[in-house]
Amino acid sequence: MSEQTMAEFLDQATRFLDTAAERAPAATSRPWGEGPDGTELLAEWSSEEEARLVTEARRFKALEYDAGFGWIDGPTVYGGRGLPRSYHEAYARLREQFAVPDLAVMRLGLSMTAPTILAHGTEQVKRAYLPRLHRGDVIACQLFSEPDAGSDLASLRASAVPVKGEGPGGTGGGSPLCEEEAGGGWVLRGQKVWTTNAHLSDIGEVLCRTDPRAPKHRGITAFLIDMHAPGVEVRPLRQMTGGASFNEVFLTDVRVPDDHRLGEVNEGWQVAITTLMNERSTTTDIGGSLDAILDRLVMLARWSGRLSDPAVRDLVSDTAMHILAARAGSQRAHQAVAAGQPGPEQSVGKLLWTQNLQRVSRVVSELLGPRLVADTGEWGTYAWAKFVLAVPGIRISAGTDEIMRNILAERVLGLPREKPPTRDQERT
């Protein structure tokens, strides 16, 4: 498309955003001692605040989608606009100039579940859910991890059993979110854990074992379930930070129609790979998200009077160097994806992010000492405690650091696979 077409597109987008949101104030570094002193990694809200934020996010996404900017690079047959990826990226940069509502609650569904539905869903499911996901009418979550299947996800135990007496053409239980019902139903049983936003979600992508006799990677099937269906129970998990953005989900005889199966029976691991690769790609966005935190860290060092300490300067400068390197890696990953050549940066990005979080935590602990764990009332001190307490959880989510290292070693560097432990090693 011509440059003029892009200019017309951006002019149209600007006119829409001017009517839907206020212009964002110019980014400035907040002086020490002014404004909220919290430095949080995990958004934690009261139920009332959360409900308000979800309502605002849904309202804006509906306006955005109806104006033609909700799924810019999506196929037109499923509600997208059919424009090149570059148009989506240009709009995303433009939207940063406006004070739009926080859309984090929809990020997992749009970046992970929606691409998986597009790649593996039935025609009915694609038409039913893709427009509503991108319009904000439906919020999605990911039901993968289990109490005994975290890093070793393929050892999951949640089961899906075909409904006897129902072949193609039966109802299969149906789904309140999908207008039409299809045949060949399943009954799901099991428990999932660490499910972000399950309590806010309308649908969930779930992995279940459908052939317990097959090798563990080959007996798994993926489904799309209604989170409001009978038998779905969501319980919050309290974190060290005090919040509860994660959940455990219990599935008790949950009926799912066969047309809500993603991919072929017993081929769910390939579906999971699609989702996880999209999850990895979202982590390339976070390499530069520590810039504001780095500014606060430098302010903290100045406020503490220790920025002239060579040891502290070394810690701060080392952290700054790694954060800037991660940002450069994030930019490189975006360029590779835009060129249709995604590379190992997608796995590197998440690992670098968690390592940088740990570096920040070490510097904060050195600077604050006891004030990190005992509230003295001083602005910008004890507030760092939530940041430090959130880091271990971030290291686990989206693939543990250890798993990311294995992926890089085996799939990027081509090193031999790690041998499983022997029985004697397991006992020790």
Catalytic residues: 279
Pairwise CA distance, residues 238 & 363, whole Å: 27
Nearest alpha-carbon partner for 42 in 394, 396, 421: 394
| CA 399 vs CA 55, 151, 191, 197, 286: distances in Å | 30, 7, 19, 18, 15
**Residue reference for tokens 């509230």:** 375
Three-state secondary structure along the chain?
CCHHHHHHHHHHHHHHHHHHCCECCCCCCCCCCCCCCCCCCCCCCCHHHHHHHHHHHHHHHHHHHHCCCCCCCCCHHHCCCCCCHHHHHHHHHHHCCECCCCCHHHHHHHHHHHHHHHHHCCHHHHHHHHHHHHHCCCCEEEECCECCECCCHHHCCCEEEECCCCCCCCCCCCCCCCCCCCCCCEEEEEEECCCCCHHHCCEEEEEEECCCCCCCCCCEEEEEEECCCCCEEEEEECCCCCCCCEEEEEEEEEEECHHHEECCCCEHHHHHHHHHHHHHHHHCCCCCCCHHHHHHHHHHHHHCCCCCCHHHHHHHHHHHHHHHHHHHHHHHHHHHHHCCCCCCHHHHHHHHHHHHHHHHHHHHHHHHHHHHCCCCCCCCCCCHHHHHHHHHHHHHCCCCHHHHHHHHHHHHCCCCCCCCCCHHHHHC
Pairwise CA distance, residues 276 & 260, whole Å: 19
Burial annotation 379-412 (CB, 10 A radius, 16+ → b, else e): ebbbbbbbbbbbeebbbbbbbbeebbebbeeeee
